[in-house]
Amino acid sequence: MKVLHVAAEVFPLVKTGGLADVVAALPVAQAVQGADVRLLLPGFPAVLEAVHGARTVIDIGTCFGALRVRLLLARMPGSKLPVYVVEAPYLYRRGGSPYQDSKGEEWSDNLQRFALLGWVAAHLAGQDADPQWAPDIVHAHDWHAAMACAYIAEHTATPAASVLTVHNLAFQGLFPMHDWPMLGLGSHLMAPTGLEFHGQLSFMKAGLKFADRITTVSPTYAREIATHEFGCGLDGVIRGRGTDVTGILNGIDPELWNPATDPAIASRYDAERLQGKLACRRALQAELGLDVDEQALVLTVVSRLTSQKGLDLILAALQELVQAGVQFVVQGTGEPALEAAFRMAQQAHPGRVHVHIGYDEARAHRLVAGADLIAVPSRFEPCGLTQLYGLRYGTLPLVRRVGGLADTVTDATPDALAQGRATGFTFDAAAPAALAACVRRAIALREDAAAWRGMQATAMAQDLSWRGPARDYLALYEGLALDPN
C-alpha cells in the first residue's frame, strides 16, 4: 500500500498545533507496519533547511502565481521518511506563521499557496509528477491540503483514492468567490453542490465533497460535526456523506512523551516509582516561584489561549479555586484579551498563579510532569493531545465531555473508581461553576492517596501509541482500495 500524506505542518519543523504532531507520527507508524509512505509539504524555509538529500523530481515552472516551482524529493530528519517538498519561493519563503504574517493577518495569497499543494498532490497521484512512484491513497490533512481531493476527482485519471482527515472543522480555508479562476477548475464547481459556501470558496468543503472517505480524529467528534451545534455550517454536507465519515483517535509518540526517559524533567519516573513525580512537582514550584505547598493541587494548562479551549471558564473560576488551595500554571499564546487576563491573574495571585505567554516544548514537558491535573475545558475538541500527555505522565486530565476528550478520559465516578477504570475528571456544562465543581471533586479525591495513585496507575497503563490508529487507517485504506464506492 503506497500512501501520500499531504499537510502544511510537521513536527518539529513547522508547528502551530496538534496537526504537526499527527503528521510527524502517523506516517512513521504506518511505515513500521509495512506501508510505503511519503509526505508532501510546502517548501517553507524551516522545511527546506531541515530535510536531507533533496533532489529535483520535476521542474514545474510557472504555477499559481509563482514564477519558479519545483518538486523536490528528500528525507525527513530523524525518521528518514521520504518527503516531497514543493519549492516555490514566491509563495512559501517568508517569515511569520504558515498562514499569517507577523501581525497576525492571513496571507493574502493563501488560496494560491495551498491550492498549489493540493494540485501537486493530484499530479503525484496521476503519475505525471514522479514517474518512479505514485500513491494508492492520497491522505489530505485539514483544509490546507483538502483541494487535493477536488483536483483528483476533477482532473486526474488515476486509480488513487483520497482520504480527508478533519483535524478542526472550525478552520475552513475561506476565500473570495472572485478568486475562483486561480484554481483552474470547471465553473460547475462554483455552485453550492461544489466549493461555494455562503458566497465564498471553502477548501474544507472541497475535501468534504470530493474525498472518497472522511475521517475525524475521534469517534465522538465524527458524530458531533454532523450536528448544527458543532458542524460550523457544514453539518448538512457531512450528514450527506453518511457512513463515509468515521472517527479514529489520535495517538502520541510514546518515546517523546515518556516520564521514564524524558530528559526535560527534573526526575524520571513511572507508575511503579511515582516519588519521581513528586520531585518534578517540587522542582516546578521552585522554578516558577510558586509557594512550596505540599497540600496545594497544582493544575496546569498547556494550550492555545482561545475561547474554543474554554480558558475563559478557568479565568472566571480562578479566584474561587485559588482560595480553595489550587495553584495554576499556564503556558500558551493566542487571543490578546485572554493573554492579558492571564497576566493579570498572575499579578493578582503571586505564588499561586504562573503564566508563560509563548510556547516552549521542554517547559511543556516540565509542566505536564510537575502538575497534579491538566485541564482541557474545551467548548469543542476534535481529539486533544494534552490530555493524552497527562495520562502518560500520571497527571490526571480534567476535561469537558466533548469530542476526543469524551473518548479518552473516564470520569472518576464511584463505579469507575471501584472497577479501576477511572483516569480523570469530566464535566458537561460550559460554565465556570461546572468546572469549579469538577476541580473541587479532584481536590476531595486527592485526600485519598491510595485512590489517587490507583487512578494514576490506570492512566499511565493506557496504550496511547500510534500502533492502533495506524492499523485502523491502513484498514480504511485497504477497504477503500477494494471498494472505492
Q: Is 326 helix (H, G, I), strand (E, B) or coil?
A: strand
Q: By the 8 A CB rule, do 366 and 280 touch?
A: yes
Residue 209: all three cell numbers together: 465533497
Predicted local distance difference test score (pLDDT) of residue 158: 76
Buried b (16+ CB within 10 A) or exposed e, 385-402: bbbbbbbbbbbbbbbbeb
Three-state SS annotation for 202-235: EHHHHHHHHCCEEEECCHHHHHHCCCCCCCCCCH
Asked, colleague to colleague, whether 2-251+467-482 and 275-460 share their fold, the answer is yes
- Select from 71, 72, 83 the least CA-distant residue to 28: 83
Alpha-carbon span 363 to 164, nearest angstrom: 33
Question: What backbone torsions phi and psi does residue 8 show, to the nearest 5 degrees?
Answer: -95, -15
Residue pLDDT tens, the chain, 485 long: 999 999 999 999 999 888 999 999 999 999 999 999 999 999 999 999 999 999 999 999 999 999 999 999 999 998 889 999 999 999 999 988 899 988 888 999 999 999 999 999 999 998 889 999 999 999 999 999 999 999 999 875 678 999 999 999 999 999 999 999 999 998 888 889 899 999 999 999 999 999 999 999 999 999 999 999 999 999 999 999 999 999 999 999 898 899 999 999 999 999 999 999 999 999 999 999 999 999 999 999 999 999 899 999 999 999 999 999 999 999 999 999 999 999 999 999 999 999 999 989 899 999 999 999 999 999 999 999 999 999 999 999 999 999 999 999 999 999 999 999 999 999 999 999 999 999 999 999 999 999 999 999 999 999 999 999 999 999 999 999 777 55
Three-state SS annotation for 93-143: CCCCCCCECCCCCECCCHHHHHHHHHHHHHHHHCCCCCCCCCCCEEEEEHH
User: What is the CATH class of 275-460?
Assistant: alpha beta
Q: Is 398 helix (H, G, I), strand (E, B) or coil?
A: strand
Sequence spans of domains, the chain:
2-251+467-482, 275-460
Residue 117: all three cell numbers together: 499543494
Predicted local distance difference test score (pLDDT) of residue 372: 98
| DSSP conformational letter for 446 | H
**CATH code for 2-251+467-482?**
3.40.50.2000
